[in-house]
Amino acid sequence: MGECFNGDPAYVGPYQQFLTGLFNYPMYYTISDVFGSGKDMSKIKSRYDAENYHFNDIDALGVFVDNHDNARFLHNHGGKNKQLAAATVFSLTTRGIPFVYYGTEQYYGGGNDPQNRESLWNDMN
Protein backbone atom coordinates (compact mmCIF):
# COMPACT_ATOMS: atom_id res chain seq x y z
CA MET A 1 0.00 0.00 0.00
CA GLY A 2 1.55 3.26 -1.14
CA GLU A 3 1.12 6.60 0.52
CA CYS A 4 0.77 10.10 -0.84
CA PHE A 5 0.03 12.35 2.12
CA ASN A 6 -2.25 14.88 0.41
CA GLY A 7 -5.98 15.60 0.49
CA ASP A 8 -6.43 16.57 -3.15
CA PRO A 9 -7.59 13.74 -5.47
CA ALA A 10 -6.14 15.61 -8.46
CA TYR A 11 -2.72 15.43 -6.80
CA VAL A 12 -2.96 11.89 -5.40
CA GLY A 13 -4.76 10.24 -8.32
CA PRO A 14 -1.84 10.18 -10.78
CA TYR A 15 0.22 8.16 -8.28
CA GLN A 16 -2.09 5.24 -9.02
CA GLN A 17 -0.38 4.90 -12.39
CA PHE A 18 2.67 3.66 -10.49
CA LEU A 19 1.17 2.22 -7.29
CA THR A 20 -2.16 0.50 -7.71
CA GLY A 21 -2.89 0.48 -3.99
CA LEU A 22 -2.72 3.82 -2.20
CA PHE A 23 -4.07 5.08 1.07
CA ASN A 24 -7.08 7.26 0.33
CA TYR A 25 -5.90 10.42 2.06
CA PRO A 26 -8.53 12.58 0.34
CA MET A 27 -11.27 10.43 1.89
CA TYR A 28 -9.44 10.43 5.24
CA TYR A 29 -9.88 14.20 5.44
CA THR A 30 -13.52 13.91 4.35
CA ILE A 31 -14.21 11.27 7.02
CA SER A 32 -12.73 13.62 9.61
CA ASP A 33 -14.87 16.52 8.38
CA VAL A 34 -18.12 14.57 8.19
CA PHE A 35 -17.91 12.33 11.25
CA GLY A 36 -15.66 14.45 13.46
CA SER A 37 -16.68 18.01 12.62
CA GLY A 38 -20.33 17.36 11.75
CA LYS A 39 -20.13 18.43 8.11
CA ASP A 40 -22.88 17.37 5.71
CA MET A 41 -22.83 13.76 4.48
CA SER A 42 -23.03 15.06 0.91
CA LYS A 43 -19.29 15.75 1.23
CA ILE A 44 -18.74 11.99 0.93
CA LYS A 45 -20.60 11.84 -2.38
CA SER A 46 -18.71 14.91 -3.61
CA ARG A 47 -15.42 13.30 -2.62
CA TYR A 48 -16.26 10.10 -4.52
CA ASP A 49 -17.36 12.14 -7.55
CA ALA A 50 -13.94 13.84 -7.59
CA GLU A 51 -12.13 10.55 -7.01
CA ASN A 52 -14.01 8.87 -9.88
CA TYR A 53 -12.47 11.47 -12.15
CA HIS A 54 -8.90 11.31 -10.79
CA PHE A 55 -8.33 7.67 -9.76
CA ASN A 56 -8.12 4.58 -11.96
CA ASP A 57 -9.51 2.26 -9.27
CA ILE A 58 -11.16 3.61 -6.12
CA ASP A 59 -11.67 0.06 -4.88
CA ALA A 60 -7.89 -0.42 -4.60
CA LEU A 61 -7.54 2.53 -2.21
CA GLY A 62 -7.04 2.02 1.51
CA VAL A 63 -9.71 3.66 3.66
CA PHE A 64 -8.80 4.59 7.22
CA VAL A 65 -9.76 6.75 10.19
CA ASP A 66 -6.50 6.60 12.18
CA ASN A 67 -2.93 5.78 11.17
CA HIS A 68 0.64 6.03 12.41
CA ASP A 69 1.39 9.37 10.69
CA ASN A 70 -1.43 11.52 12.08
CA ALA A 71 -2.96 12.48 15.38
CA ARG A 72 -5.82 10.11 16.14
CA PHE A 73 -9.46 10.94 15.41
CA LEU A 74 -10.26 11.37 19.11
CA HIS A 75 -7.34 13.74 19.58
CA ASN A 76 -8.65 15.95 16.78
CA HIS A 77 -12.32 15.57 17.76
CA GLY A 78 -12.07 15.27 21.54
CA GLY A 79 -14.09 12.53 23.13
CA LYS A 80 -16.52 11.86 20.28
CA ASN A 81 -16.54 8.09 20.74
CA LYS A 82 -19.85 7.60 18.93
CA GLN A 83 -18.58 9.58 15.95
CA LEU A 84 -15.37 7.52 15.92
CA ALA A 85 -17.44 4.33 15.93
CA ALA A 86 -19.57 5.62 13.03
CA ALA A 87 -16.45 6.70 11.09
CA THR A 88 -14.90 3.26 11.65
CA VAL A 89 -18.03 1.47 10.45
CA PHE A 90 -18.05 3.71 7.37
CA SER A 91 -14.41 2.86 6.65
CA LEU A 92 -15.19 -0.85 6.95
CA THR A 93 -18.19 -0.77 4.62
CA THR A 94 -17.42 1.83 1.96
CA ARG A 95 -15.52 1.45 -1.30
CA GLY A 96 -11.89 0.50 -0.92
CA ILE A 97 -9.76 -1.63 1.36
CA PRO A 98 -10.46 -0.99 5.07
CA PHE A 99 -7.50 -0.40 7.38
CA VAL A 100 -7.97 -0.19 11.14
CA TYR A 101 -5.01 1.15 13.10
CA TYR A 102 -4.46 -0.67 16.38
CA GLY A 103 -5.95 1.12 19.35
CA THR A 104 -8.84 2.71 17.46
CA GLU A 105 -11.05 -0.07 18.83
CA GLN A 106 -9.84 0.89 22.33
CA TYR A 107 -10.68 4.59 21.75
CA TYR A 108 -7.06 5.71 21.84
CA GLY A 109 -6.75 9.45 21.41
CA GLY A 110 -3.03 10.14 21.01
CA GLY A 111 -1.70 13.28 19.38
CA ASN A 112 0.91 13.72 16.67
CA ASP A 113 3.57 11.06 16.14
CA PRO A 114 4.85 9.52 18.43
CA GLN A 115 1.95 10.21 20.84
CA ASN A 116 -0.37 8.34 18.45
CA ARG A 117 1.59 5.12 18.97
CA GLU A 118 0.31 4.28 22.42
CA SER A 119 1.24 0.95 23.92
CA LEU A 120 -1.52 -1.56 23.28
CA TRP A 121 -0.28 -4.21 25.68
CA ASN A 122 -0.13 -2.00 28.76
CA ASP A 123 -3.59 -0.52 28.27
CA MET A 124 -5.60 -3.19 26.47
CA ASN A 125 -9.19 -3.40 27.63
How many secondary structure helices (H) and strands (E) does the chain include?
A: 7, 3
pLDDT digits (tens, 9 = 90+) for 57-105: 999 999 999 999 999 999 999 889 999 999 999 999 999 999 999 999 9
- How many other CB atoms sit within 10 Å of the CB of residue 93? 9
Whether 74 contacts 109, CB under 8 Å: yes
Q: How many residues does the chain have?
A: 125
pTM of the predicted structure, to 2 decimals? 0.94
Instruction: Specify the DSSP element, H or E, that contains 45.
Output: helix 42-54
pLDDT digits (tens, 9 = 90+) for 45-54: 999 999 999 9
Sorted by where each begins, the domain ranges of the chain are 9-123
pLDDT digits (tens, 9 = 90+) for 26-40: 999 999 999 999 999
Confidence of residue 122 (pLDDT cuts 50, 70, 90): confident
Residues sharing a CB contact under 8 Å with residue 1, sequence separation 6 or more, in sequence order: 21, 22, 23, 62, 97, 99
